[in-house]
Structure 1
């Protein structure tokens, strides 16, 4: 029973369709009226927010880091302390370096004092001068002793000759002999004294040189101490620099983007502690296919949209192309295809970023959809993109409806995007154009046009 009813209903529908087609002259088709309208060419691509520069706070040297109380998202001001090394460690190093400099400075003052040595050298010079007279006196005394000895010898010889003649007595001879012995002894003593004084004089003449050499050695010691002091001062400057760097401050007014460490611990030099950025410098980057990037230039109008912003294409947040990178890079798509892409940077319109941040809560590395308008016309003859197709020769064509029949027309196109296309030749304003033509349709076929909104 149910099958019978279904067959009857189907038959009725087929008969009704045949009657409709016969009466209307052809099957119904959707058409739009070609009209003048604005059109834009654009490039659509995924993008993400970024900062042109971030400020990394890192460990300046190996040390023990105190607890960091800041958290991601906290606002900081320029000069605000964001991290701090345990101060007892750097203060102890500074005090030790300072004490070493002061100790060496005292040693230099002590070693550099030459007052005692200068006095000693003056005394030595006086000794040298006085020894000149002493040597002369000893020499004179020795000469006199030699003369007395020579006289005593001559006198003894005379007495011996006079003894033989009876002019002198034995007593005179004894006295002459005694005088000779005494004068000989005096001469030998004075000669030895003279030689000794000569030796003392030679040694005395060395005293000023010895004192000068000692002073020179003190100068060398001072130079060594000064070098040691310079090294100690360098260590002191390093300790002072560490004291300064031990307190790390924010270089800008900004926000904490990342925080790597929290609790107090020993940390190696160069370890990243915090990353600070300025959301007021937020921009958007998009990786554009290189063949599309050639049509983009700085200053082009753009927009961002998508679910994260609650905006649709064509009604997004306006932006401008800031920079197109001069070099591309290879990226593998989700389908495993290697693509050559170029990085394009977009900047917000003046004064708009603060409002966007407040309304949409954008942060760094947020995913957005990017549309860059490469060319625009305020008035052009526009039809839907779905109305055009290519023939076997690759020419663009479309079906126009005239007098209830299809007319295949060759087209010359201008601007084109995903939804619309500009026709510069082949149709006129007001022509009815078939939308999404079926492959079964042909030129001259009868149809019944049904107008659609463009």
Structure 2
């Protein structure tokens, strides 16, 4: 009796095992269920934060720069003094240039004053006119002397002729001769005086010309001084400009990003002193492969994530594509492969940037992971990307488990990302698809399906 029962139990167990093996008839395989859910196409790439503009404070000219007390991370206000050239140097240069202009201004004023010269010229003209009258008087005097001399000569001859007749005496002759000599001497004296006055008159007539020439020379001197003053004024303007530029202020409300010099020292023109930026203008740049960049458009939604932000993909900090650069560049990858890449700029929401900065402590040149969504659908039939493969003709295919057996389906796909794909044709909602099918499997094979949880 006991033996009969044992044999019956064994038969039942063997029958059940055979049924189980015949019913399942194949190896266990992981399958997932095709479901309706959102899907996005995106580009993942490393990026870094940056500022659209960094304000560089540099030496405006070669000089001695004073100590810079600001440090990296210090907040500055627009118009705040951030660095300055040693003021004693530029103030002395300015004072010297100003004194030169004032000295030349005084010299021009002095040279331009012709009051004395004009008075002298007027006096010379009066003197010339007076000499004209003097010359006429001397000429008249000489003419009168000549007439008296000629009369004395004639009278002497008359006396000589009358002496033989007894009409004149020898005494009369002596007086006549004396008169002639006196008149001749007077005439010679007046003639010499007249010649001398003529010479003085000729010299006097030069006086107004001499004064005019002196005035003209003063005018030339004024022109030279005015040219020197113009040059001095140019040096003064340069000194004023250098004085104004010697105090360097922040152009914006921002933060000190970089400090190049600290202690007082001589520095050449153009030497970088400070870099100032506005963190509320922070943006992100990513170098995208050119074949992916063609799918990116300004306005596309994007996000940054990673361990440094404490965010994972899909839950990152939201940004928007601001612009895609029109030109690409060649970059060698870490594996030594030349790649053509395009720079893409992403911008934070202006209302959230302050919150992002405070919560995550982002700064300039911080490395982040960037995901740019190129296309999205709120609802689509989605399966894992690992479930699809290509046949020899290049068509997309997948294995569907139905009733314990495999069916090979040709698929028409839509959106695709690293994890999931959208199926437009070939699969229905609820179908079970093999994940990472082995090459040993083929259509019609019996399998035991193990449903795997859906990956987000």
Quickly name the TM-score band, shorter chain normalised. over 0.9
Give the structure 2 partner of residue 395 of structure 1: 395
Tell me the secondary structure at the aligned position of residue 163 of structure 2: helix
Give a deviation string over 1:84-104, Cα, whole Å, max 9, x none: 211111121122122222222
Give the structure 2 partner of residue 368 of structure 1: 368
Give the structure 2 partner of residue 161 of structure 1: 161
Question: How many Å separate the matches in 1 of 2:394 and 2:179?
Answer: 155
How far apart are 1:160 and its partner, in Å?
A: 2.5
Q: Find out whether 1:197 has 2:176 as its counterpart.
A: no
Give the structure 2 partner of residue 121 of structure 1: 121
How far apart are 1:18 and its partner, in Å?
A: 10
1:73–1:19 Cα change, 3 Å: farther
For residues 9-48 of structure 1, the aligned pairs below 5 Å read: 21-48=21-48
Give a deviation string over 1:222-275, Cα, whole Å, max 9, x none: 222222222222222222222222221111111100000111111111101000
Contact 2:40/2:373, CA 8 A, preserved across alignment? yes
1:395–1:18 Cα change, 3 Å: farther
Structure 1 unmatched ranges of 5 or more: 1-16
Does 222-231 or 320-329 show the bigger shift? Answer: 222-231
Give the structure 2 partner of residue 452 of structure 1: 452
TM-score, structure 2 normalization: 0.93
TM-score, structure 1 normalization: 0.93
Does 183-192 or 263-272 show the bigger shift? Answer: 183-192
Give the structure 2 partner of residue 283 of structure 1: 283
Contact 1:21/1:27, CA 8 A, preserved across alignment? no
For residues 80-91 of structure 1, the aligned pairs below 5 Å read: 80-91=80-91
Question: How many Å separate the matches in 2 of 1:236 and 1:211?
Answer: 36
Tell me the secondary structure at the aligned position of residue 436 of structure 1: coil
How far apart are 1:280 and its partner, in Å?
A: 0.6
Question: How many Å separate the matches in 1 of 2:329 and 2:203?
Answer: 89
Contact 2:302/2:373, CA 8 A, preserved across alignment? yes
For residues 408-447 of structure 1, the aligned pairs below 5 Å read: 408-447=408-447
Question: How many Å separate the matches in 2 of 1:360 and 1:120?
Answer: 89
Contact 1:321/1:346, CA 8 A, preserved across alignment? yes
How far apart are 1:153 and its partner, in Å?
A: 2.0
Contact 1:53/1:277, CA 8 A, preserved across alignment? yes
Give the structure 2 partner of residue 345 of structure 1: 345
How far apart are 1:20 and its partner, in Å?
A: 6.7
Give the structure 2 partner of residue 334 of structure 1: 334
Q: Find out whether 1:243 has 2:211 as its counterpart.
A: no
Tell me the secondary structure at the aligned position of residue 154 of structure 1: helix
How far apart are 1:351 and its partner, in Å?
A: 1.2
Contact 2:24/2:446, CA 8 A, preserved across alignment? no
Question: How many Å separate the matches in 1 of 2:22 and 2:181?
Answer: 182
Structure 2 unmatched ranges of 5 or more: 1-16
Give a deviation string over 1:346-400, Cα, whole Å, max 9, x none: 0112311111111110000000011100000111111100011111111111111
Give a deviation string over 1:311-358, Cα, whole Å, max 9, x none: 111110011001111111111111111111111110112311111111
Give the structure 1 partner of residue 296 of structure 2: 296
Give the structure 1 partner of residue 259 of structure 2: 259
Question: How many Å separate the matches in 2 of 1:347 and 1:219?
Answer: 68
1:198–1:19 Cα change, 3 Å: farther
Contact 1:49/1:363, CA 8 A, preserved across alignment? yes
1:216–1:290 Cα change, 3 Å: same
What do you get for the CA RMSD once the two structures are aligned?
A: 1.6
Question: How many Å separate the matches in 2 of 1:249 and 1:304?
Answer: 35
Give the structure 1 partner of residue 13 of structure 2: none
